[in-house]
């Protein structure tokens, strides 16, 4: 999820590396039918004991700490349907975005929230309470998967809050299959569990979305 300017900077940096160096190989993406992906998630009771939002450091300085764009800004830049003007300090002016949760076009960027597909509190409940602070920060700023963070309307994000798919789905009915797929992909990517109500809801949605697949890569 790197916008064109960042790609250019990264390419330039790689060009000057010695030829003897190589980039570590990434694990290949895994693609499963939605029903199989849901079955691959471990079942466990959830607990919010000890949760604080500050346990997940966000938004950090993003892919290139020196460019002035934090994670939130990088998501907005990557998902813009019409690119905004990038002003000093990575202030974004103009631009146009599609909020797929509620099927709305939005501008400017301040009209959007960047949603954690699996909310921070839900991640904590599902296994992140056992992670190191560094891994929680990596989760909260995951720019390496286009499914982990999504720019959507502030209203839809705040309606969702920390609810799972047994409790909340996007108001745009056509978004359900995509949303459930991306939720499941994020949990598989980060090795998060699901509770019984969530498992039952996801299984029901898998039946209603028979052609939907889930693609994910395990987080480092």
Per-residue pLDDT of the chain (220 residues; tens, 9 = 90+): 444 444 443 344 433 333 333 334 455 799 999 999 999 999 999 999 999 999 999 999 998 888 899 999 999 999 999 999 999 999 999 999 999 999 999 999 999 999 999 999 999 999 999 999 999 999 999 999 999 999 999 999 999 999 999 999 999 999 999 999 999 999 999 999 999 999 999 999 999 999 999 999 999 9
- How many Cα neighbours within 13 Å face the side chain of 98? 7
Name the nearest CA neighbour of 175 among 165, 189, 186, 167.
165
What lies within 8 Å, CB to CB, of 135 at 6+ separation is 128
Reported pTM: 0.86
In contact, 182 and 117? CB cutoff 8 Å: yes
Name the nearest CA neighbour of 117 among 170, 78, 57.
170
CA distance 194 to 25: 30
**What is the residue extent of each domain of the chain?**
26-216
What are the Cα distances from residue 213, in Å, to 1, 85, 186?
A: 21, 35, 13
């Amino acid at each position: 999820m790197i916008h064109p300017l960042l790609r250019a900077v990264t390419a330039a940096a790689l060009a000057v590396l010695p030829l003897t160096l190589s980039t570590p190989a990434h694990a290949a993406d895994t693609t499963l039918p939605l029903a199989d992906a849901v079955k691959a998630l471990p079942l466990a009771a959830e607990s919010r004991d000890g949760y604080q939002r500050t346990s997940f450091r966000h938004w950090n300085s993003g892919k290139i700490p020196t460019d002035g764009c934090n994670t939130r800004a990088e998501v907005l830049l990557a998902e813009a349907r019409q690119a905004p003007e990038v002003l000093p300090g990575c202030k974004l002016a103009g631009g146009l975005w599609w909020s797929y949760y509620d099927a709305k076009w939005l501008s400017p960027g301040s009209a959007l929230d960047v949603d954690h597909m699996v909310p921070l509190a839900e991640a904590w409940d599902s296994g992140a309470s056992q992670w190191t602070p560094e891994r929680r920060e990596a989760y909260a700023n995951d720019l390496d998967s286009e499914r982990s963070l999504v720019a959507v309307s502030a209203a839809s994000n705040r309606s969702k809050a920390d609810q799972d798919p047994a409790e909340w789905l996007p108001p745009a009915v056509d978004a359900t299959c995509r949303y459930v797929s991306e939720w499941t992909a994020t949990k598989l990517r980060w090795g998060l569990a699901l509770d019984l109500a969530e498992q039952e809801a996801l299984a029901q949605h898998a039946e209603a979305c028979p052609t939907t697949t889930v693609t994910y890569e395990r987080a480092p």
